[in-house]
Amino acid sequence: MNKSELIEVVANETDLKKKDAEAAVNAVLAAFEKALVEGDKIQLIGFGTFDVKEKAAREGRNPATGETIQIEASKQVRFTAGKTLKNKINA
């Protein structure tokens, strides 16, 4: 599912106009982005948790040349599915 399809589903499920559904989806995504950038955790009971994990600098290899390279430290968004979602997926 992409963003356009999500907007369509929201519009259909809520009887909102497509323009209003798009505004709602954009507002939710902006709130998620802001929270994650600020280092906050987003916990949606029954669905899952989004948080930011720091990855340490490490050594890697260039697959083309085999040369050892240094990979810089970075942050990644992580999602952990909640119990309800896991149960629905595994049903």
- Identify whether residues 36 and 47 lie together within a single domain: no
Q: What is the mean predicted confidence (pLDDT) over 28-55?
A: 96
Q: What is the mean predicted confidence (pLDDT) over 71-90?
A: 96
Q: What is the mean predicted confidence (pLDDT) over 44-51?
A: 96
Is pTM, for the whole model, over 0.85?
no
Percentage of the chain beyond pLDDT 70 is 100
Domain count within the chain: 2
Q: What is the pLDDT of residue 14?
A: 95
* Chain centre to alpha carbon of residue 62: 28
* SS3 assignment, position 51: strand
Q: What is the pLDDT of residue 6?
A: 97
Residue with tokens 């930011």: 52
Q: What is the mean predicted confidence (pLDDT) over 47-60?
A: 96
CA dist 38 and 49 (Å) reads 15
- Identify whether residues 23 and 63 lie together within a single domain: no
- Identify whether residues 12 and 25 lie together within a single domain: yes
Domain that holds residue 79: 41-91
